[in-house]
Each structure stands twice: as structure tokens, then as C-alpha cells.
Amino acid sequence: MAKTDTKEKLIAASADIIHEKGFNNTGIKEILDACQVPKGSFYFYFKSKKDLGLAVIDYHGQRFAAITAKFLGDKNIPPLVRLENMFSMFVNKICENGFVRGCPIGNLCQEMSDLDQDFRLRLNKSLRGLSQGVAKVLEEAAGAGELAPDSDPEQLAGFIVNSWQGALLAMKVEKSRRPLDAFMNVVFNMVLKK
């Protein structure tokens, strides 16, 4: 296997295991076993488990940037419809997957922000990336007269992304789509109305 392949394989497998179990609750051995990579090889690619954790944050950040670009960048669709389409897609995925795990970035924000400053800064950048994508589309909506004239797209975007994180937390503990439906209804029928 080429060097980059092994590194990417380690990152993708860790991203998956950490998403389910949390960072502190995941051992390097578990990751090595999942990838069938020897321990020495791991330390060739990563200085430490922390180093791998930071790479996992970037990995998720890039994946989300691609998803938001795809859904929110299509100027042929009205801005608020693009936003609703993206969240509907997320809702459908979560229902298909049986209401587990939630957002990999949000989970790590919760777990790591108070425990490691490097994690916190990297996670903050990732979470802001998500809300900046939403803010851009809300600015377009405001420009097109689709939002109340006094609304603040940046504040609204932060609120929406954070409320989504809260809805994910609730679906995970309830094992139901109820919190996701409440999010869709209140955000798109009450908050994002003129």
C-alpha cells in the first residue's frame, strides 16, 4: 500500500471509530486492528494519538465543506430552498442510519473543548466553517427580500447550526426523528420567515 493510502486509511478508520465512541474512549490499538496496520507504522504517520485526532477534525471539515458547497452553492435554486434541501438530506441520512452518532464535529466540540486547547481551536474553525456557509446563503436570501429586513444573517446562521447540533443530541438520546422534525418546522416555518 502506498504511504498516502495508509495514512488516509488510518484517518478514515479513526474518524469512524471516534465518531461512535468518542476520542478519549478510542484506543490506538483498536484503530490499528481495524486498519491492520502495525504500531510502528502508525508512529511513522502521526506523532501521537492527539496528532491523529487533529487530522480527523480536518478530514471531517473537508467533507462538510464539500457537502455545503454542493448544496448551498447552486444559484439556480432559491437560497432558503437550498438550505432546507441540505438539512432535509441530513435528516434522511440520520433516519436511514437509525438515529445514531450525530455530528462528528459537534461531538468532539462537546468532548474536547475544555480538555485540549489545540483541539478546541481546530474544532472552532470547523464549526465556524459550517455556520459561514449557512450565513452566506442567508445573506443571499436577505438580499432577495426573503428574510425580515432587520434580520442578522450571521447571528441567524450561528443559531441554526447550533440548534441543529442540539437537535442531533436529542435524536441520539430519544432515538427518534421528533427533534429533527421540530428543528425543520421551527427554523423553516418560524425563524426564517419575513
Look at the chain and count its residues. 194
CB atoms within 10 A of CB 73: 12
Q: Does 54 bind a second copy (CB under 8 A)?
A: no
Smaller CB distance to a second copy: residue 79 or 158? 158
Size of interface with a second copy, in residues (CB under 8 A): 45
CB atoms within 10 A of CB 68: 21
Going by C-beta distance under 8 Å and a sequence separation of 6 or more, which residues neighbour residue 108?
18, 23, 53, 57, 119, 123
Q: Does 14 bind a second copy (CB under 8 A)?
A: no
Q: Does 49 bind a second copy (CB under 8 A)?
A: no
Q: Does 115 bind a second copy (CB under 8 A)?
A: yes
Q: Does 95 bind a second copy (CB under 8 A)?
A: no
Applying CB under 8 A, which of residues 11, 35, 86, 127 lies at the interface with a second copy? 127
List the one residue out of 32, 166, 44 whose CA is nearest residue 110: 166
Q: Does 166 bind a second copy (CB under 8 A)?
A: yes
Applying CB under 8 A, which of residues 5, 36, 47, 114 lies at the interface with a second copy? 114
Round to whole Å and give the CA distance between 168 and 183. Answer: 10
CB atoms within 10 A of CB 134: 23
**Angle between helices 104-112 and 49-72 in degrees, nearest 10:** 140
Applying CB under 8 A, which of residues 42, 64, 90, 183 lies at the interface with a second copy? 183
Applying CB under 8 A, which of residues 30, 111, 116, 139 lies at the interface with a second copy? 111
Q: What share of the chain is helix, strand, coil (3-state, %, to 5)?
A: 75, 0, 25
CB of 33 to a second copy, least distance (A): 19
Binding site for a second copy (CB under 8 A): 20-22, 24-25, 100-102, 106-107, 109-111, 113-115, 120, 123-124, 127, 155-156, 158-159, 161-167, 169-170, 172-175, 178-179, 182-183, 185-186, 190-191
